[in-house]
């Protein structure tokens, strides 16, 4: 069995997920990168070429079988799953609520919320026999703060916080720690696309620090929570948002 501690990062091929992968590899973790973006394959190959341990598994987190296959790939490759950082998600359709179609709403719930449930379900099952594990769900400051034309996105992220609190209660006695982080505005392709579609977001996202985060700043919080520094932390939803939720 590989002696490195093993971690899954969903949405690991870009944005916050990629920053998490970079930080974890630098800390010596064996990383399973999950994404729909095939660029994750080249990313994993570059990590291996540099002496790190990484593999890529093409994954749609809204599909139960995909997530099951992902977790099995991580345990087959590295012997045990010690941690997961679940970043996979999509932005909303940038419409006021009454214009959002049921199909559009179902899609964001399927990926952001049901997808997180599926990830937690299979990751916890893999960790439970060892009574050793830590999971971070990447939610959003939008879980706590209303944003214009974003009710679909806000509700999907608020649901994640509920999942985390319930799961943390269920598995604390088994030494599994489950937390969420709530990023504010971050310089990622997804955030830029949502701001372009919904310019009103630009006015709400950068207060009070008057800047957006670098993805590495968000990744640092997630890596802290799955590492030794977060060993007595479970069930929290931690804003990493430059003060966005207090503004």
pLDDT one-digit tens code per residue, 66-100: 999 999 999 999 999 999 999 999 999 999 999 99
177 bridge partner residues: 134
Q: What is the pLDDT of residue 193?
A: 73
Residue 1, pLDDT score: 39
Residue 19 has pLDDT above 60, yes or no: yes
Model confidence over 183-230: pLDDT tens digits?
Answer: 999 999 877 776 666 776 666 666 789 889 999 999 999 999 999 999
Active site residues: 153
CB atoms within 10 A of CB 92: 25
Encoding tokens for residue 72?
């099995």
For residue 162, give both structure tokens: 């509920």
pLDDT cut 70: percent of the chain above it:
95
Q: Is the pLDDT of residue 3 over 80?
A: no
pTM above 0.75, yes or no: yes
pLDDT at 28 over 70: yes
If you average pLDDT over every residue of the chain, what do you get?
94
Kindly state the average pLDDT of the residues 119-141.
Answer: 98
Domains located in the chain, CATH noted: 6-238 (3.40.50.720)
d(CA 52, CA 176): 26
Given this model, what pLDDT does residue 159 score? Answer: 98
Which residues have C-beta within 8 Å of that of residue 149, sequence separation ≥ 6?
Answer: 92, 94, 95, 96, 198, 200, 201
pLDDT score, position 203? 63
Is residue 58 classed as helix, strand or coil in its secondary structure?
strand
């Amino acid at each position: 069995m590989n002696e490195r501690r093993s971690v899954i990062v969903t949405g690991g091929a870009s944005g916050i997920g990629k920053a998490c992968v970079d930080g974890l590899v630098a800390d010596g973790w064996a990383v399973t990168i999950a994404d729909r973006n095939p660029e994750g394959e080249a990313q994993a190959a570059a990590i291996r070429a540099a002496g790190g341990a990484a593999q890529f598994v093409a994954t749609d987190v809204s599909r139960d079988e995909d997530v099951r296959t992902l977790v099995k790939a991580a345990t087959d490759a590295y012997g045990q799953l010690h941690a997961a950082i679940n970043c996979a998600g999509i932005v909303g359709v940038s419409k006021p609520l009454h214009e959002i179609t049921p199909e559009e709403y179902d899609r964001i719930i399927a990926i952001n919320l049901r997808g997180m449930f599926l990830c937690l379900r299979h990751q916890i099952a893999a960790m439970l026999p060892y009574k050793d594990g830590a999971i971070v769900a990447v939610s959003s400051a939008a879980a706590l703060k209303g944003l214009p034309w974003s009710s679909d996105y806000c509700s999907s992220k608020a649901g994640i916080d509920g999942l985390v609190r319930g799961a943390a209660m269920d598995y604390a006695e088994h030494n599994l720690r489950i937390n969420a982080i709530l990023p504010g505005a971050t310089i990622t392709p997804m955030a830029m696309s949502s701001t372009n579609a919904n310019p009103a977001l630009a006015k709400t996202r950068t207060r009070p620090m008057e800047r957006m985060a670098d993805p590495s700043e968000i990744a640092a919080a997630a890596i802290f929570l799955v590492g030794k520094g977060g060993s007595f932390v479970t069930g929290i939803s931690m804003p990493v948002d430059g003060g966005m939720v207090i503004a």
